Structure 1
């Protein structure tokens, strides 16, 4: 099997699975219980939070364990909006955000919030001037993803953070789900107030995540209950999940230091080979993150290619997994100004550090053959 759909989800690392099993077996007690078993579970939870903070170079009380990217994005966006609506009801985001950000912002319109969606250029990147011009007296939040999940385009987060810092009443949220472990991003002293990370994108487990909440950033909680996780995310803690995502973060950080060049080499090879196929049009910008390559084959429906490849045990995707079963057109590519023949035929290859050049060679050879077969049938 050749798995090239890592931006949808990754295969859990064996050591991550082992950590989850061990904690589930030995530390199953509720961390809020006052008996000794509960106390031991609480100690492990505190330790996991400290370790996560050390790895991300932030403070332990800035770590909130969540169920993943969608929950983290919703807590950040709705939490800021509801808590600070007396300051203003204006939010800035972009045209190419993940559905969990876009739909969260859209839902706030029903409560009287106004959303500005910044346009992007053909590379999927915003213009800093547009951002500056969009900030108003009543702007309370900027929410912009670091790495786009379809295109791999990278937003100028540090520049945005510097701008956000100039407005003390404005908060800055970053969806770092696709960028974490591939494109470094400092959280401390960056102007970032909130940052979302998902476990299952980094060889962790589904249902695990972290939301970084900078000290003195106040949020209206979406869950009310026992006031766990600094009362931001009530509910009995998923202790095994918390330990497992810390393990995944540690492994990912090690790979980022050691193997990032490997990922860029795979990207360069794949781009070169795809460009040599005359039917293929590359959509990802040259400055894209190394693990995501988006391309179109105009005239061939993407699901046809995906099924042909899966017959050969090769797995890629079309668009985001969170929107791939909806309309044929990629909203992201359309926002980048690409033509309809490309926005409706887009495919995405997304790699991990586990992939290798031999796999990509096989993928390219099979892709060439399947395109040839399709053309022969259509002639």
Structure 2
């Protein structure tokens, strides 16, 4: 049986690649891009430099810096106005996962209209959409190479997974030098996010040989260098390897799937405004422990790739080592529990049934090696709280 594989048409990877943005856009026959970014990159001057690079190439860009963390349907409205006013023929997502997810949503809505909730899973969206060029500034989301976007419904607080080729960037420009200024907390959260992508892609029921190879490479790289990047943000080699691994993990899960961690993570982000990578990290060890017996050999492969188990270790032993290694990693990069993060226990318990319902509705838990019941998801939320 064949496996459908989808990748960006063009990828520029390496130090200084962002300076080639004008050449990339021109090569696609585009001329009026909307640059979607956030106030942070405006403040650093990076957004202004991108606009200059595009103008130097003879293009007519416009800047939209209204992206918000964990973008909402309400936050898209001003971007759609900017697309119409500028008569944009493309959208550049410049930043972390939130600007790239915003750019993807604007690309679809800018062509098709409607409401974002019309496009959430299980609907598969194939277009039409404005072409997307993705330029990540964090090493984690992998959104530059995925056929997904995640947008929160401003009315219901549901964090909606919206899948399909309409959201796959046409081009990705991947320059690790853009990540050197990331603070330790963001480095950790995005790094654990990338590791989650790689491991979930490998153990997913939709895994395939193509996604497997990239997932295992990414797992090994992240295991070697994430702590280094967290400890010393100016470690150029660690930054470069983390950036590449995050993209590889993104390609892997885009062509396989994510699973239970992501299904449970989205409601935490929506209701408690926890960054996506951090909410994944809060869940990662406990969900892996819950799932590991259902796919011991696959989790054992991950442990060996991560460097925490040897070839002669039994699969059961290696899988257990993986759970311990994830627990140790989250401790070393100081991932807080929901309680330590400041989330009220009463509110957490009150929302747990709704979060469990939303996690299941996303479809991601069905890809998990062990498919949970709603009661088991509620129990996992209780386990990780404090």
TM-score, normalised relative to structure 2: 0.34
Instruction: Considering Cα pairs closer than 8 Å and 6+ residues apart, tell me whether 1 or 2 has the greater RCO.
Output: 1
TM-score, normalised relative to structure 1: 0.35
Report which of the two has the higher share of helix.
Answer: 2
